[in-house]
């Protein structure tokens, strides 16, 4: 196998992070991408993940790519890109068909048709949105749930429950055109929470049931897993910047000092430690209360044995795991990123960028969660092509 270079671009509200990975020559199909270069830049021109000023965003991305290219010794021409704004939403649907064969055996074509039927039933209810991921949650044949995929089974009715992850068409367009304006072709667009899950969660956690919570600067995203499948995804418009703002107001200090206090880099200042803990815990409690309300909505509150795994820049906040345990009544831990001894990726805030590289290196035959999601991925270009000359 020829050496394969993959680039992942994570355009966050705080930083743009770029990871360049290499899949080793003559590697097996399971070869793990090796990070050979990284770059980051302060994000400008974004608000809660939305592009407000494309030229500012383009400059940030270009700067991060240039750093990554220099450290990797390669030129980036193509990339996989993550989208993580509050515009990401989930929608559920059920599709049903009658198998086409005379002997009622379910074929691959039938599975494609039942997935399409589930999409057809929601498409008129999601105006201005595009489907990024179509994830089959469960199949049934003649009312009986199928463990695994139903090819080869016989029955008079095939049904599927599907999770669709969508985002605004305009936002996807803006992100793609901004990146392509600097000469980089966008190969694919993936939901950020899913990209992070490819490297932050292990098989045991995903099989047992867990939540991956990414606490960013302006948003908190969660993806819920059960039986190794993502069953829910949600973005909340609150993040670690809100903790900083609360500290600034509560302790009456400048924002710059509040940020340092939050990160534990300003210990000599004269403020009440008890008051600081109270401020931080109140905000964290409000964040995890939102998470708990969502778990109640999908009927998974208190029912995820592997608990909540915390990542993102805000996950280093003092006492965060204790607050998560108390509010959610679940085990809680801060995620660690372990991707090899020689990696140039330093911490878990790089999870999305590296997850994009994992996505690019995988194939649809992969039996992991990544493969399950990828084999049902609808190419973002299938609808873009209609606009091309």
Does residue 230 register a pLDDT over 90? Answer: yes
Does residue 317 register a pLDDT over 90? Answer: no
Instruction: Assess whether 143 and 262 both reside in one domain.
Output: no
Interval 288-304 mean pLDDT: 96
Q: Quick one: pLDDT band at residue 387, thresholds 50, 70, 90?
A: very low
pLDDT digits (tens, 9 = 90+) for 52-65: 999 999 999 999 99
Beta strands across the sheet bearing 210-215: 229-236, 220-226, 210-215, 308-311, 332-334
Least confident segment among 36-40, 185-189, 220-224, 261-265: 261-265
Least confident segment among 13-22, 31-40, 89-98, 260-269: 260-269
Helix, strand or coil for residue 80? Answer: strand
Spatial distance between the Cα atoms of 364 and 352, rounded to a whole number of angstroms: 20
According to the model, what pLDDT value does residue 377 have?
58
Instruction: Assess whether 49 and 179 both reside in one domain.
Output: yes
Does residue 134 register a pLDDT over 80? Answer: yes
Q: Which domain holds residue 54?
A: 4-86+169-200+340-385
Interval 192-201 mean pLDDT: 92
Instruction: Assess whether 50 and 156 both reside in one domain.
Output: no
Interval 117-144 mean pLDDT: 94
Instruction: Assess whether 261 and 323 both reside in one domain.
Output: yes
- Reading the block at residue 263, the tokens are 């990160």
Q: What is the dihedral of CA 314, 316, 320, 324, to 10 degrees?
A: 70
Domain boundary among 121, 152, 167: 167
Instruction: Assess whether 66 and 192 both reside in one domain.
Output: yes
- Reading the block at residue 185, the tokens are 């072709």
Instruction: Assess whether 126 and 57 both reside in one domain.
Output: no
pLDDT digits (tens, 9 = 90+) for 136-180: 999 999 999 998 889 999 999 999 999 999 999 999 999 999 999
Residue 229 sits in a domain of what CATH number?
3.30.420.40
Instruction: Assess whether 93 and 120 both reside in one domain.
Output: yes
- Reading the block at residue 260, the tokens are 């340092």
Read off the DSSP letter of residue 156: S
β-bridge pairing 185-191 and 210-215: unpaired
Q: Cβ of 350: how many Cβ atoms within 10 Å?
A: 26
How many domains does the structure of the chain reveal?
Answer: 3
Burial class (CB in 10 A: 0-12, 13-18, 19+), 68: buried
Instruction: Assess whether 224 and 207 both reside in one domain.
Output: yes
pLDDT digits (tens, 9 = 90+) for 321-346: 999 999 999 999 998 776 654 555 55
Query: Longest Cα pair distance anywhere in the chain, in angstroms?
Result: 80
Q: Which residues, at least 6 apart from 1, have a Cβ–Cβ distance to it below 8 Å?
A: 23, 25, 26, 27
Select from 222, 213, 272, 264 the least CA-distant residue to 243.
Answer: 264
According to the model, what pLDDT value does residue 147 have?
85
Question: Residue 334: which H helix or E strand, with range?
Answer: strand 332-334
Q: Quick one: pLDDT band at residue 374, thresholds 50, 70, 90?
A: low
- Reading the block at residue 142, the tokens are 């003649």
According to the model, what pLDDT value does residue 336 have?
78
Instruction: Assess whether 186 and 58 both reside in one domain.
Output: yes
Does residue 373 register a pLDDT over 70? Answer: no
Least confident segment among 114-128, 201-215, 269-283: 269-283
Residue 126 sits in a domain of what CATH number?
3.30.1490.110
According to the model, what pLDDT value does residue 1 have?
45
According to the model, what pLDDT value does residue 33 have?
84
Does residue 38 register a pLDDT over 50? Answer: yes
CB 136, CB 197: distance < 8 Å: no
Instruction: Assess whether 18 and 50 both reside in one domain.
Output: yes
Instruction: Assess whether 287 and 225 both reside in one domain.
Output: yes
Domain boundary among 149, 167, 185: 167
Instruction: Assess whether 25 and 52 both reside in one domain.
Output: yes
Does residue 217 register a pLDDT over 90? Answer: no
Least confident segment among 159-173, 223-237, 353-367: 353-367
CA 81, 82, 83: angle at the middle one, nearest 5?
Answer: 125
């Amino acid at each position: 196998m020829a050496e394969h270079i993959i680039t992942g671009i994570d355009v966050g509200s705080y930083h743009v992070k770029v990871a360049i990975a290499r899949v080793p020559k003559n590697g097996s199909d399971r070869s793990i991408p090796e990070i050979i270069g990284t770059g980051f830049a302060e994000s400008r021109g974004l608000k809660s993940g939305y592009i407000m000023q494309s030229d500012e965003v383009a400059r940030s991305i270009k700067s991060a790519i240039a750093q990554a290219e220099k450290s990797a010794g390669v030129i980036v021409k193509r990339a996989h890109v993550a989208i993580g704004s509050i515009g990401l939403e989930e929608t559920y649907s059920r599709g049903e068909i009658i198998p086409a064969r005379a002997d009622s055996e379910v074929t691959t074509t039938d599975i494609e048709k039942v997935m399409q039927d589930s999409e057809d039933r929601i498409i008129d209810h999601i105006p201005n949105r595009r489907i990024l991921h179509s994830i089959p949650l469960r199949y049934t044949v003649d009312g009986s749930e199928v463990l695994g995929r139903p090819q080869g089974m016989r029955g008079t009715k095939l049904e599927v429950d599907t999770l669709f992850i969508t985002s605004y068409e305009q936002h996807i367009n803006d992100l793609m055109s901004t990146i392509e304006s600097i000469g980089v072709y966008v190969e694919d667009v993936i939901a950020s929470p899913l990209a992070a899950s490819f490297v932050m969660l292990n098989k045991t956690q995903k099989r047992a049931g867990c939540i991956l919570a990414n606490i960013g600067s302006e948003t908190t995203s969660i993806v819920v897993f059960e039986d190794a499948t993502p069953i829910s995804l949600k973005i909340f418009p609150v993040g670690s910047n809100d903790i900083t703002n609360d500290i600034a107001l509560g302790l009456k200090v400048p924002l710059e000092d509040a940020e340092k206090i939050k990160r534990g880099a300003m210990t000599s200042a004269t403020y009440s430690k008890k008051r600081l803990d109270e401020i931080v815990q109140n905000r964290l409690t409000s964040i995890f209360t939102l998470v708990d309300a969502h778990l109640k909505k999908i009927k998974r509150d208190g029912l995820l044995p592997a608990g909540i795994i915390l990542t993102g820049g805000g996950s280093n906040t003092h006492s965060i795991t204790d607050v998560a345990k108390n509010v959610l009544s679940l085990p809680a831990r801060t995620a660690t990123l372990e991707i090899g001894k020689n990696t140039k990726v330093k911490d878990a805030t790089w999870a999305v960028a590296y997850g994009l590289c994992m996505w690019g290196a995988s194939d649809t035959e992969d039996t992991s969660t990544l493969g399950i999601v990828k084999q049902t991925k609808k190419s973002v270009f299938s609808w873009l092509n209609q606009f091309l000359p």
